[in-house]
């Protein structure tokens, strides 16, 4: 469903290439993991896919179900079913968590030509999902991510994902900053969404997360490229030996 071919990306501000030809396909129903050293371009890839400003695509393509993602506004990508759980979720004072989520859900539905959900339906939906993620009513009432702990922010990202039900979910280090229990909650949240029609791209540094969310495919990214692809055992190898062996092997 997500097909990335030969994607090269420069920073807009400075003359610097970050992605140097990324090839990657995530099929519906599958979970792909991306691991890789700090600064290798994992977050950049997720931002470019979701349409953040500041990057210039110099070559290659990225499509979701055949639709050219790179040609769309961020909100169009979301309506097309793409979702990014941010590595650093943004605090927005003055915008209520619930107001925001409802606006987002209805905007997406409207863009897809679907009925908007009523406040009652919405409340019911959010309460139900929030409960399984142990997000309390107080957090829902607060301004978006303001004063949330690191772990709470990550759980809130997963809540948004659960409510918006995107078809292609990118999770950028959603496990970082989570305690053991929260890791379990978040993983359960992700696993609950796993189904045949939905693809996942999970960016992580740790096997820990992949113990809970078993990936079908694991990619290693280094210096702006996918340098190795394998099964779940690849993550175990990284966990045990780090990147040195893998990188020298492909160099």
Partner 1 sequence: MRLAPNFAKPSQARTDATEARLSGLALPESGAWGRAARQDALDRLREMGLPQPRDEYWRMTNPRPLNGAQAEAADLMADDEAPIWGETGALRIVFRDGVFDAAASDDLSAIEGVRIERLADAMAGDIHWAKDLYGALESRGQSPVPRPFAALNTATATDGVVIDATAAASRAIRVVYERSDEGADPVLHSLVRVAPGAEVTLLESGAGGARINTVLEADIADGGRFHHVRMQGRDPGRRAVTHSFARLGAEAAFKSFTLTMNGFLTRNEQVVEFTGDDAIAHVAGACVGDGRDFHHDDTVFVTHDALRCESRQVFKKVLKNGATGVFQGKILVKAGAQKTDGYQISQSLLLDDDSQFLAKPELEIYADDVACSHGSTTGAIDPTALFYLRSRGVPEAEAQDLMVLAFLAEALEEIEDGDLAEELRVRLEGWLARRAG
Ligand X SMILES: Nc1ncnc2c1ncn2[C@@H]1O[C@H](COP(=O)(O)OP(=O)(O)OP(=O)(O)O)[C@@H](O)[C@H]1O
Interface positions with ligand X (CB under 6 A): 11, 18, 36, 38-44, 54, 87
Binding residues for Mg ion, rule CB under 5 A, total 3
Distance CA 188, CA 12 (A): 38
User: In terms of CB distance, is 71 or 75 closer to partner 1?
Assistant: 75
Q: Is 43 in the site for Mg ion (CB under 5 A)?
A: yes
User: In terms of CB distance, is 37 or 143 closer to partner 1?
Assistant: 143
Percent helix, strand and coil across the chain, each rounded to 5?
A: 40, 30, 30
**Residue 217 Cα distances to 33, 96, 201, 238, angstroms:** 6, 37, 10, 14
Distance CA 244, CA 157 (A): 32
Choose from ligand X, partner 1, Mg ion, none: what does 200 bind? Cβ within 5-8 Å by kind. none
Contact between residue 22 and residue 229 where contact means Cβ atoms under 8 Å apart: no
Contact between residue 48 and residue 77 where contact means Cβ atoms under 8 Å apart: no
Q: Is 241 exposed, middle or buried (0-12, 13-18, 19+ CB in 10 A)?
A: exposed
Q: Is 44 in the site for Mg ion (CB under 5 A)?
A: no
Give the binding range for partner 1 (CB under 8 A) out of 85-93, 134-142, 188-196, 222-230: 85-93
Q: Is 77 in the site for partner 1 (CB under 8 A)?
A: yes
Choose from Mg ion, partner 1, ligand X, none: what does 40 bind? Cβ within 5-8 Å by kind. ligand X
Site for partner 1 in 12-31 (CB under 8 A): none
Choose from Mg ion, ligand X, partner 1, none: what does 34 bind? Cβ within 5-8 Å by kind. none
Residue among 51, 189, 199, 215 that touches partner 1 (CB under 8 A): 51
Q: Is 191 in the site for partner 1 (CB under 8 A)?
A: no
Contact between residue 222 and residue 35 where contact means Cβ atoms under 8 Å apart: no
Handedness of CA 231, 235, 240, 241 (dihedral sign): positive
Residue among 11, 27, 52, 141 that touches partner 1 (CB under 8 A): 52
Place of tokens 């079908």: 216
Reduced to 3 states (helix: H, G, I; strand: E, B; else coil), residue 239 is: helix
Residue among 27, 59, 71, 99 that touches partner 1 (CB under 8 A): 99
User: In terms of CB distance, is 87 or 108 closer to Mg ion?
Assistant: 87
Least distance from C-beta 138 to ligand X, angstroms? 30
In 3D space, the residue among 70, 113, 83 whose CA is nearest the CA of residue 200 turns out to be 83
What is the binding site for partner 1 (CB under 8 A)? 50-53, 73-75, 77-79, 83-84, 86, 89-90, 92-95, 99-101, 103-105, 107-108, 111, 143, 160, 164
């Amino acid at each position: 469903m997500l097909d990335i071919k030969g994607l090269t990306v420069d920073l807009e501000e400075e003359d610097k290439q970050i992605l140097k030809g990324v090839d990657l396909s995530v099929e519906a129903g599958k979970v792909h993991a991306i691991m890789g050293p700090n600064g290798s371009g994992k977050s950049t890839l997720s931002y470019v896919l979701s349409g953040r400003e500041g990057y210039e695509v110099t070559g290659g393509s990225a499509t979701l179900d055949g639709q050219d993602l790179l040609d769309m506004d961020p909100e169009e990508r979301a309506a097309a079913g793409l979702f990014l759980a941010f590595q650093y979720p943004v605090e927005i004072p003055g915008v209520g968590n619930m107001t925001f989520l409802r606006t987002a859900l209805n905007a997406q539905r409207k863009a897809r030509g679907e009925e908007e959900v009523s406040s009652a339906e919405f409340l019911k939906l959010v309460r139900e999902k929030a409960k399984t993620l142990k997000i309390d009513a107080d957090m829902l009432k607060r301004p978006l991510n303001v004063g949330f702990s690191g772990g709470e922010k990550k759980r809130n990202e997963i809540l948004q994902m659960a409510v918006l039900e995107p078809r292609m979910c990118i999770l950028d280090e959603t496990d970082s900053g989570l305690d053991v229990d929260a890791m379990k909650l978040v993983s359960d949240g992700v696993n609950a969404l796993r189904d045949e029609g939905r693809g996942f791209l999970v960016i992580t540094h740790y096997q820990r997360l992949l113990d809970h969310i078993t990936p079908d495919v694991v990619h290693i990214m280094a210096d702006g490229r996918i340098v190795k692809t394998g099964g779940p055992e690849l993550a175990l190898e990284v966990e045990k030996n780090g990147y040195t062996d893998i990188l020298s092997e492909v160099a």
